[in-house]
Amino acid sequence: MQLVDGTVFDVPDTQENARVFGYPGTRPGTRAAFLEVRLVLLIEAGTHLIRPLAKKFCDIMGG
């Protein structure tokens, strides 16, 4: 059995991080206080190993 799990990390508010990760959605006319990196993983339920497909997806998406 495989599971999907995820988490969100706050990262420093720098120009480079903003360019790479962007800002999370907020109300129109406002900007989030922190940049966020969202990590979503495909995990093998019994062994808790991260499946290679998740890494492949990140490679394709430029992450």
pLDDT in tens, 15-27: 898 888 778 777 8
pLDDT in tens, 42-63: 888 888 777 766 455 555 555 5
- Model pTM score: 0.54
Cβ neighbour number for residue 56 with a 10 Å cutoff: 11
Q: With the C-alpha atoms ordered 45, 40, 8, 17, is the resulting torsion angle positive or negative?
A: positive
